Chains A and B, each alone.
Chain A
């Protein structure tokens, strides 16, 4: 019956209540839509870095210093083969790929172009990439990236000349997103044997090693192990955890997302002020009624609860509608900026809807509290006599 009383009081000033609800709807919708969009943007961005968290990159400890206007270098350019073998025999390593790479010019028919050439084992290529056309094979042939093939009109069976060596294209890779290890889109991938033959690097070490550890917690263990063994006497290699990079991106995104949501929160604040306003007016208009309630036996806390209940009803209605509409809002922003809404229906979206509802309710309760408190502090006799 308290609920009925509260609900009817809201209905008594239907237009006013409706306006307050609309305020909350807009506020909740803004907060939740922005949250949903940010989350989808992040998911869309990170989807290209999938499954790299157990990946660790080992680079030679090569440093460039600027001193007295001169560039001096220290450390080594390559990871020598002996060190490389030691690294991949560490206990935490599940799998690995030795990689040599360089930027050079290549030729296809009459066209000369700049290209990255990677030398790596066929198994590593198969592990990392999928072929769009052709079959991944590196013996006496090469694999080319999607963009490169597209730009130069390369096909399976085309011939590419690098450093005077002609290689047959065995496969064209599927397009991939940005990667930290090997970026194949604009590259030619050859076997290590062919790489050494082309660039005469048989006696040089590797440019980097991709290491897959057995489990996520092994990442730091592996790093420690490298420091204690290979790097014990002299810093020979640097270890980069991709997990940390992903974590950083995640952090950056959630910071931006919080910031945007806070800006959207201003609209919720405005809605809160309007609730405060209508509830204060309502308290004033119903002063006499409050006096009657108190005279016939309502505690101050009962009056407080009744007014809070009214605020809560406005909040629930506004928040639920706002949350539902935020799905549409999220969809609209997704389509506008990401041109796709495929990440919309997810648990994260639901999370942001709930979060928007939570803040909507919180706003109404906070702004409803002062009028409710004020109503509960009225003196029964004065309230009864109020004109």
Chain B
């Protein structure tokens, strides 16, 4: 299987009060197409930073991030935006829906940014909301939706441009167990459809959904069944 995400000796350094902090310190790993990968670690372990690097939200201090075989270090801001828009879908712990837009419009937004025609946009948005089981809430604003529903809208939005990769940062972190289960089942369904899923969590119950769990501590991989560690 080919790798959709490949990290080669990736480092991310933050300067905090003149001191250099390695959020990610020499990580090399690859994510195969169609895989359901979970990155586990305590808070501050660098797992979210790692996800941001995979999602082209941030550039590594050193090392390489390849998405679909494309070396992202040489790409411009605009080209990175294109990759985020077309190849990657984000699901955040805080849902991050646009509060002024309805559920339906939130799902439409990535397609609008891509320039998808209105009719196609509307058809796809409705379809996704139906898949997520929240078609009835299409015209409600995020503030009128429960956390679980908001996260389902967020997943629908992440899938709008039919991305290859779904990056989820603690998607159930703010949800009760039941809503969390619904959300995880929806993500699993997408993985079964062929979407590569990378999920960051510290919750072992959530990690059970994944076929491969990578553990990270202090910015370094401490366990990865995909490769043999020294």
Contact = CB atoms under 8 A, between A and B. Distances in A.
A296 interface: yes
Of the four ranges (under 10, 10 to 19, 20 to 34, 35 or more), the interface on chain A belongs to: 20 to 34
Contact of A8 (B78, B101, B108, B110): B101
Nearest to A10: B100
Contacts of B98: 5, 289, 292-293
B36 interface: no
B57 A296 contact: no
Nearest to A8: B100
A384 B100 contact: no
Interface string A1-39: 110110011011000000000000000000000000000
A298 B100 contact: no
Nearest to B78: A299
Interface of A is mostly: helix
Which range holds the interface residue count of chain B?
20 to 34
Given A1-B105, A1-B112, A297 B86 contact: yes
Interface in B94-149: 96-101, 105, 108-110, 112-114
B188 to A, nearest CB: 22
Interface in A275-308: 288-289, 291-300, 302
Contacts of B55: 295
A298 B57 CA distance: 12
Interface in B129-182: 157-158, 161
A381 interface: yes
A119 interface: no
Given A295-B90, A299-B78, A9 B100 contact: yes
B189 interface: no
A1 B84 contact: no
Interface in A99-116: none
B84 A297 contact: yes
Interface string B57-68: 110000000000
Given A384-B57, A384-B96, A298 B101 contact: no
Contacts of A384: 57, 92, 96
A380 interface: yes
Interface string A257-289: 000000000000000000000000000000011
Contacts of B105: 1, 4
Contact of B114 (A9, A294, A297, A300): A297
Given A1-B108, A380-B57, A381-B57, A299 B81 contact: yes
Contacts of A297: 81-82, 84-86, 110, 113-114, 161
Contacts of A288: 96
5 contacts: A12-B99, A291-B96, A297-B86, A298-B113, A299-B81
Enumerate the 8 nearest inter-chain pairs by beta-carbon distance, A residue then B residue, closest first: A297-B85, A8-B100, A292-B96, A297-B113, A381-B58, A381-B57, A296-B110, A380-B57
